[in-house]
Amino acid sequence: MKKVYIETYGCQMNVADTEIVFSILAGEGYVRTEEMQEADVILANTCSVRDNAEQRIWGRIEQFHYQRKTRPGVVTGILGCMAERLKEALLESGKVDIVAGPDAYRSLPRLIAAASQGHPQIDVLLSREETYGDIAPVRVDKNGVSAFISIMRGCNNVCSYCVVPYTRGAERSRDWRTIVREACDCAAQGYKEITLLGQNVDSYHFGELDFAGLLDRVATTVPGLRVRFSTSNPQDISDAVLETMAAHDNICKHIHLPVQSGSNRILEKMRRRYTREWYLSRVARIRELMPGCAVTTDVIAGFCSETEEDHRDTLSLFEEVGFDAAFMFYYSERPGTLAAKKYPDDVDLQTKTRRLEEIIALQNRLSLESNRRDLGKTFQVLVEGPSKRNPAELCGRNSQNKMCVWPDTEHRAGDLVDVTVKDCTQATLLCEPA
């Protein structure tokens, strides 16, 4: 039996794609291995979203190259967003055998067969239809509790800083019937939570069905599963989606709502199609319909032409919203994007880093304040497994996606347990069985 090893970088959609690749290759008799040294085929599913993501992968390419030099017959390949962005340039490095973009995974068996005859292979064709809707993923998640379900691919938004529309192509939604079927499969396999994935889930539409409709259908079909979704775009998240969330106990009360900047001038240059005021009004609406719903975000510090005043607008927006958590980055220019063509990357690295650190320091305080507000509350938590620090403790997330730990030797991964918050750090709720 041939063995395939895959490393996955980047977002959750890449994790879901890796599971599709495993499924396609399993159909050809490949088995999965977690040891690169014993693999016949070594693949990396890559990310291009920031320069440092790509730099890391160049380091891995050296390792892969070493494997194929020292173990003749080994085939190596780069999949995903970096494959799509760099195309032939990856093959020209002479260090990989296969380059396959995100819509080319059905070709992988053929590409591998040809590459193992010594002919480097490339397929970076983007598709307007491919959703891999008919493919049952081979789950890579270890504890068998939580599964990702891709509901759409690509992105039509063209935010000026972002490489994703170029690496993933045009937006397309997957047939809702295959999504519901996959949710049922997850339930049958013992999963307890699913996360519906898309770059912009609120623009999902298949026939007459929009995202609110899909969410309702999924939540109704698998009442025993928790349902999450990501990512919501502030310009598109509708009251219908919020009302659907509020109506279903099994839809988790957490919205990841990337803001990117608190300055209207910067938002416009980013080609985000909302204002600070609109964003704040969406957050207010979320809290009105679902008090206690967590709101998390992404932010970029030091975008082209960002002034101290723009930066202070971001800090004040963070303060005003009081995010429960955030992913924070400094701007990394991506070749080929609108921003790279139109605007100089003119905030120096030192300033970018300092602004990012200021945002991180503020968010650390906001996360701690958010956790302190939960002291004394009781939450239902889905057990993920033993906590990292202490084998006599379990860890798991509540509906708001906050990590909880508590002393427990009775329950197991996949159980739902009620716990009461006794103490907290900025990252974790320290609990006791309720």
Interface residue list for ligand SAH (CB under 6 A): 49-50, 161-162, 164, 199-200, 231, 233, 258, 260, 298, 300, 329, 331-332, 334
34 exposure class (CB count in 10 Å sphere: 0-12, 13-18, 19+): exposed
Which among ligand SAH, ligand F3S, ligand SF4, none contacts residue 47 (Cβ within 5 to 8 A by kind)? ligand F3S
Residues 225, 194: contact at Cβ < 8 Å?
yes
CA atoms within a 13 Å half-sphere pointing along the CA-CB vector of 358: 18
CB-based contacts of 357: which residues, under 8 Å, 6+ apart?
none
β-strands 416-424, 378-386 pairing: antiparallel
Please state the closest distance from residue 288 (CB atom) to ligand SF4, in A: 25
Neighbours of 72 (CB within 10 A): 6
Please state the closest distance from residue 258 (CB atom) to ligand SAH, in A: 3
Maximal C-alpha separation, the chain: 64
Q: Does 47 bind ligand F3S (CB under 6 A)?
A: yes
Report which of 35, 109, 32 is spatially closest to residue 77, judged by C-alpha positions: 109
Q: Does 203 bind ligand SF4 (CB under 6 A)?
A: no
- C-alpha angle with apex 153: 47 to 209, nearest 5 degrees? 155
Structure tokens at 109: 């068996």
Positive or negative CA dihedral for 311, 315, 318, 324? positive
Please state the closest distance from residue 80 (CB atom) to ligand SF4, in A: 14
Q: How far are the Cα atoms of 81, 131, 323 from residue 153, in angstroms, in the given order?
A: 12, 6, 28
Please state the closest distance from residue 132 (CB atom) to ligand SAH, in A: 19
List residues bridging with 226 in a β-sheet. 193
Which residue lies nearer to ligand SF4 by CB, 200 or 399? 200
> CB under 6 A: which stretch of 19-27, 164-172, 252-260, 417-425 binds ligand F3S?
164-172
Q: How far are the Cα atoms of 242, 405, 408 from residue 389, in angstroms, in the given order?
A: 37, 10, 13
- Per CB under 6 A, contacts with ligand F3S among 222-261 are none
The residue written with tokens 């591998």 in the block is 112
Q: For the window 206-235, what string marks contact with ligand SF4 as x by the rule CB under 6 A?
A: ---------------------------x--
Which among ligand SAH, ligand F3S, ligand SF4, none contacts residue 300 (Cβ within 5 to 8 A by kind)? ligand SAH
Binder among 3, 7, 11, 268 for ligand F3S (CB under 6 A): 11
Report which of 342, 343, 335 is spatially closest to residue 50, judged by C-alpha positions: 335
Please state the closest distance from residue 223 (CB atom) to ligand SF4, in A: 31
Residues 179, 218: contact at Cβ < 8 Å?
yes
Which among ligand F3S, ligand SF4, ligand SAH, none contacts residue 48 (Cβ within 5 to 8 A by kind)? ligand F3S
Please state the closest distance from residue 332 (CB atom) to ligand SF4, in A: 13
Which residue lies nearer to ligand SAH by CB, 292 or 335? 335
**Alpha carbon of residue 176 to chain centroid:** 20
Which among ligand SF4, ligand F3S, ligand SAH, none contacts residue 165 (Cβ within 5 to 8 A by kind)? ligand SF4
Which among ligand F3S, ligand SAH, ligand SF4, none contacts residue 18 (Cβ within 5 to 8 A by kind)? none
Please state the closest distance from residue 80 (CB atom) to ligand F3S, in A: 6
Backbone torsions φ then ψ of 128, nearest 5 degrees = -95, -10
> Nearest residue to ligand F3S, using CB?
10
Q: Does 13 bind ligand F3S (CB under 6 A)?
A: yes
Which residue lies nearer to ligand F3S by CB, 44 or 431? 44
- C-alpha angle with apex 275: 171 to 266, nearest 5 degrees? 85
Please state the closest distance from residue 150 (CB atom) to ligand F3S, in A: 11
**Alpha carbon of residue 305 to chain centroid:** 28
- Tell me: cis bond preceding 167? Omega within 30 of 0 counts: no
Q: For the window 128-157, what string marks contact with ligand SF4 as x by the rule CB under 6 A?
A: ---------------------------x-x
Residues 203, 165: contact at Cβ < 8 Å?
no
Q: Does 261 bind ligand SF4 (CB under 6 A)?
A: no
Q: Does 154 bind ligand F3S (CB under 6 A)?
A: no
Backbone torsions φ then ψ of 379, nearest 5 degrees = -125, 150
Which residue lies nearer to ligand SAH by CB, 173 or 199? 199
Where does this chain bind ligand F3S (CB under 6 A)?
A: 10-11, 13-14, 47-49, 80-81, 163-164, 167-168
Which residues bind to ligand SF4, rule: CB under 6 A? Answer: 155, 157-159, 162, 164-165, 199-200, 233
